[in-house]
Structure 1
Amino acid sequence: MTTETTPDTELPDRTGPSDLTDRPVTAARLVVLVVVVLTLLGGALGYVLHARQHGARHRAVAADAGFTLDPPGLYYRDAASGRIARAAGSDGAPATVGGPSCERFYASGDRALCLRALPGTPGTPARTQAVVYDRQFHQLQALTLPGVPNRARVSPSGQVLSWTAFAVGDSYAVSGFSTRTSVLDLRTGYLIKSIEDIPLTLDGARYHAADVNYWGVTFAADDNRFYATVSTGGRTHLVEGDLRSWSARALKENVECPSLSPDGTRIAFKKRVSADPADPWRLYVLDLADLSEHPVAENRNLDDQAAWLDGRTLGYALPAKDGRTTDLWSVPADGTGAPRLLAAGASSPTALTAR
């Protein structure tokens, strides 16, 4: 186990095709933000506070020598160590912990994305380190950004990455919480610091509002099309975005944390089914052809961005019985079967195939 020493850089002060500018604090923005945080993010606030207190519990370490992402299989974050682990294999190989320390993790193609909560002190803004690795866990790039780690995704090719952090003290909510989602294109090095200002079409018309907020990006195979959640006016919507044309359009209401299937035809998502803040969401699957949806055979509250383990199976994290960690579960995507425990004390599932 070795301590990482490669220096990282502060998040560059630049955005995508639409420049990010500070917005004045107004009573309307503040009220809307508070409503959105309480009604849409639910348990996320508790996660933010927990991460601020415990995010530095694990020392930042690099991968052990010889631990890579080359063997196909299931990888995840091990709660006990805070490091990336490889699940037990069907050939009898045991589960192995040996990857770098991360709070959120995802990998696809030839790249992996690791989000770490950086150590902080009371009264100082939260910070996250976003680290890009190749499949041998050689560090390629590291960025420091404001906020607490929340979501991480890599496009199927490994060339486009996205992360969402809970940002503290945005210009329109000095004492509040909001999400900030970034996109990094490794082919060009171009960083979209926040996708908040992407032109949005809602209900067939160009939409402008002070409270527009994005999170949970998932990419299509063409490295251009993406899906994400947008919240505005107290509602959430699934949006389809286009990076080249820098545009997004809302497809369906009440869709959060989307995850695109390997064949690009379905979206796994969490749907708000209750106003109870302790039990608001269930896991659903959406057919993009006709926007029909169905629940899966998981009836517990889910606050996660599910991952497709293959074309038929979803992986996701649920709170463990100890109340301090999460366990990793799977369920068929077609609504049949029953949930199955994959790994105790685990989160951030990623299924990798042979190259």
Structure 2
Amino acid sequence: MTTRNRRVAGFVLVVLVVVVAAGGYGWSEYVRSRDAQTTATDVDLVPADVTVSGDRIVFRSTAPGDLYGRVATVTTDDPGGPRSVAPVACDRVDTTGGRSVCLRTDRGVLTTFEAVLLDANWQQLESWALPGIPSRTRMSPDGTLVATTSFVTGHSYATTGFSTETAIHEIGGRDYGNIEEFDLLVDGEEIAPVDRNIWGVTFVDDTTFYATAQSRALGHTWLVEGDLEARTLSTVRDGVECPALSPDGTRVAFKKDVDDGPGVHWSIAVLDLASGDETLLGEQRNVDDQVEWLDDDTVLYGLPREDEPGVSDVWAAPAAGGDAAVLIPEAWSPAVVRP
């Protein structure tokens, strides 16, 4: 055998070893995940013949076991109590009660991502493909509009940081498309940074919304007010990420980078839209989530458990400042329904 042939044979052997090792690891991870999710969950469940109605919270269950990832519901009177579990699994969920949107990952031979619109009985009404990993979703107050944010690849400016695509879809009507294509206005003047990202929509009504617009090149992360008809994004304030409008429409809760160095540490802040006053809440842990409002006085957010990978809890904190506490254990992506 020639030297060249020996090198080729050696290379093929190395490749085979790597492939076999990777396959073995992948199989072991699949078995571990399958076993974890086929074990019966130990959370308390509402009897099958009981319907949870009235003021309630819909969320993604992160309780280990066969119900992991499924959409669940609890009453606001007993959020840590028995939960009703729906026959659907989601990565992110939002709801108005009559309709729900579910962002999910289909891990087949080729992994795909989709948004699914569901009725009050969790039956599919329609679906559409997402361009990447699901990140955020919100519905308008009357359930006619759906905003979805996905992480995407392929943008030339995404070699560092991240890139998103946020789209707004009217149920049974107009598709507003990627809102990154809307005109971005700073103090009334249009700018067009090539690296802009838009994410974290929260609706005011069927024409107006708030969101985050960012340009790393310009060094800004703005709260913007969006106009669907004019197709504009007008900056309101700098330093705001993942806004969430309060039920009374007067304040926006958001995550704020409070790290003075090169790192990132997100805390929760609340902005009074009329006065411009900002209140930084007391949560000291890193909160990488889009806040939800329980009511006009309380905000909700998800935090992963440090000692249990894949498990998270929904926490509640006073919007005026004060101590936070677990509201729903083993939960993520809360959406509050107020009939």
TM-score of Structure 1 vs Structure 2, range by shorter chain: 0.7 to 0.9
SS in 2 for 1:87: strand
User: How big is each residue's C-alpha offset from its partner over 1:113-155, in whole Å with a ceiling of 9 and x where there is no partner?
Assistant: 100022156xx7x631100112221211111121001001011
The residue aligned with 2:92 is: 104
SS in 2 for 1:196: helix
The residue aligned with 2:181 is: 197
Verify the 8 A CA contact 2:302 2:315 in the aligned structure 1: yes
Distance in structure 2 (CA, Å) of the matches to 1:283 and 1:289: 19
The residue aligned with 2:318 is: 332
Asked whether 1:218 is paired with 2:202, we answer: yes
SS in 1 for 2:303: strand
The residue aligned with 1:353 is: 338
1:87 Cα deviation from its structure 2 partner: 2.3
Verify the 8 A CA contact 2:304 2:313 in the aligned structure 1: yes
The residue aligned with 1:166 is: 151
Q: Give the fraction of aligned pairs with identical amino acids, expressed as a percent.
A: 40
Asked whether 1:82 is paired with 2:69, we answer: yes
1:214 Cα deviation from its structure 2 partner: 0.2
1:346 Cα deviation from its structure 2 partner: 1.1
Asked whether 1:116 is paired with 2:104, we answer: yes
> How do 1:6-85 and structure 2 match up within 5 A?
70-79=53-62, 80=64, 81-85=68-72
Verify the 8 A CA contact 1:69 1:137 in the aligned structure 2: no
Verify the 8 A CA contact 2:184 2:233 in the aligned structure 1: yes
Distance in structure 1 (CA, Å) of the matches to 2:231 and 2:177: 14
Alignment-mate amino acid for residue 87 of structure 1: V
1:280 Cα deviation from its structure 2 partner: 1.1
Q: Which has the larger radius of gyration?
A: 2
The residue aligned with 2:327 is: 342
Asked whether 1:247 is paired with 2:232, we answer: yes
Distance in structure 1 (CA, Å) of the matches to 2:169 and 2:180: 15
2:296 to 297, 300, 311: 311
Verify the 8 A CA contact 1:312 1:333 in the aligned structure 2: yes
The residue aligned with 2:140 is: 155
The residue aligned with 1:181 is: 166
Aligned length: 291
Give the structure with the larger helix fraction.
2
Distance in structure 2 (CA, Å) of the matches to 1:251 and 1:309: 24
1:177 Cα deviation from its structure 2 partner: 4.0
Distance in structure 2 (CA, Å) of the matches to 1:307 and 1:173: 29
> TM-score with structure 1 length normalisation?
0.75
Larger RCO (alpha carbons 8 Å, 6+ apart): 1
1:288 Cα deviation from its structure 2 partner: 0.7
1:294 to 254, 279, 297: 279
Verify the 8 A CA contact 1:88 1:96 in the aligned structure 2: no
> TM-score with structure 2 length normalisation?
0.78
User: How big is each residue's C-alpha offset from its partner over 1:250-303, in whole Å with a ceiling of 9 and x where there is no partner?
Assistant: 010000000001111110000111055765110000011122211123222110
Alignment-mate amino acid for residue 97 of structure 1: V
Alignment-mate amino acid for residue 266 of structure 1: R
Any gaps of 5 or more consecutive residues in structure 1? 1-52
Task: Mark the CA change 1:328 to 1:67 in structure 2 (over 3 Å): closer, same or farther.
Answer: same
SS in 2 for 1:303: coil
Task: Mark the CA change 1:115 to 1:340 in structure 2 (over 3 Å): closer, same or farther.
Answer: same
1:172 Cα deviation from its structure 2 partner: 5.4
Distance in structure 2 (CA, Å) of the matches to 1:104 and 1:98: 14
Task: Mark the CA change 1:176 to 1:254 in structure 2 (over 3 Å): closer, same or farther.
Answer: closer
Verify the 8 A CA contact 2:52 2:84 in the aligned structure 1: no
Alignment-mate amino acid for residue 313 of structure 2: D
